[in-house]
Amino acid sequence: MISVCIPLFNFDASPLIRELIKQIDQLDQPAELILIDDASEEKYREIYTTFADSCRYIELEKNVGRAKIRNLFLQYANYPYLLFLDCDALIISDQFLEQYLNLLDSKPQIVCGGRVYPPQLLKGNKKLRWKYGHRVESEPAWKRKENPNSSFMTNNFLISKVLLEQVQFDEQLTQYGHEDTLFGLQLLERGVSILHIENPILNGDIETNPVFLEKTKQGVENLYQIYLKNKDNPHLVEQVRLLRVYEKVKKWKFIMNPIGLIINPLLLFLLKNGNSSIFLFNLYKLFLFMQQSK
């Protein structure tokens, strides 16, 4: 028994919603679909309302952000498990929901299905996002199991309602990024290990390089706020590669910050054009983080 939960914001999620309605209708167990719109533009709300007869649809008058909107689903979910999907996800398996349902007899606390990106190289203004997603985020289940809590992502996960009531997303994080990092850390502190399975969704919205870089900047700012509040927590640094690198080089901030101020504009230019490596992208993030910690 699953409540499928989709936070919506300024994106046409029709293909995802239609496929979920189709799969729910084919199940021999009860399931429901819940959509919550986070104050999208009117043109998107008009799309969402066309599905109101086939699911539960809620509109928010004010944008509340990625963390709070996920907590809100607790008020509307009728079943003991909540399955969260990002609105830009595309389902690539006819047994997607069934695979999650087959796990429920073992009473899992939290399960991640993973994500994949289109196999063909995207060039030009989407090359950076594709490259990072394909090489870094598209990890098979066996790889994610090596460090299960640091591999947690919010785009495709099942969680028991009881656990989400106990460990909610930090609503102080209103910008994009790393709410999943903090949530994974909270689970680790409680001794909750995440189960990883091979049931991925396809990322159906490859952002342009400038959009991805702006979200990256917001994510680094969020991560710095998390770091300030949890800097004495050794698990946080263990879970985030950027923080592990920062801890090793922070004593050289007096040298690296001036270098970053000079180099990062060049890195940004290269990254926006897609002509850069993942190494240089990570270096760009490190300089951004160090500038936060002046």
pLDDT for the residue numbered 135 = 86
pLDDT at residue 239 is higher than 90: no
The larger pLDDT score, comparing residue 177 to residue 18, is at 18
pLDDT category of residue 175 using cuts at 50, 70 and 90: low
Report the share of the chain in percent with pLDDT over 70: 97
pLDDT at residue 234 is higher than 90: no
* Domain spans in the chain, listed from the N-terminal domain onward: 2-206, 213-292
The larger pLDDT score, comparing residue 271 to residue 292, is at 271
pLDDT category of residue 12 using cuts at 50, 70 and 90: very high
pLDDT for the residue numbered 42 = 94
Q: Are 128 and 137 in contact (CB under 8 A)?
A: no
Q: Which of 141, 136, 7 is nearest to 66 (CA)?
A: 7
Q: Which residues of 144-289 form beta strands (DSSP E)?
A: 156-160, 195-196, 201-203
Q: Give, in order, the Cα–Cα distances in Å from 111 to each of 58, 68, 204, 263, 277.
A: 26, 20, 21, 40, 31
pLDDT category of residue 258 using cuts at 50, 70 and 90: confident
Q: In what order do the strands lie in the sheet with 195-196?
A: 56-59, 31-37, 2-8, 81-85, 156-160, 110-112, 195-196
pLDDT at residue 21 is higher than 70: yes
- Give the lowest-confidence range in 57-61, 100-104, 205-209, 251-255: 251-255
Fold of the domain built from segment(s) 2-206: Spore Coat Polysaccharide Biosynthesis Protein SpsA; Chain A (3.90.550)
What would the mean pLDDT of 112-121 be, rounded to a whole number? 87
Cα separation, 275 vs 128, in Å, equals 8
What would the mean pLDDT of 4-19 be, rounded to a whole number? 96
pLDDT for the residue numbered 174 = 62
The 10s digit of each residue's pLDDT in 24-53 is: 999 988 999 999 999 999 999 999 999 999
- Give the lowest-confidence range in 9-23, 34-48, 196-210, 266-280: 266-280
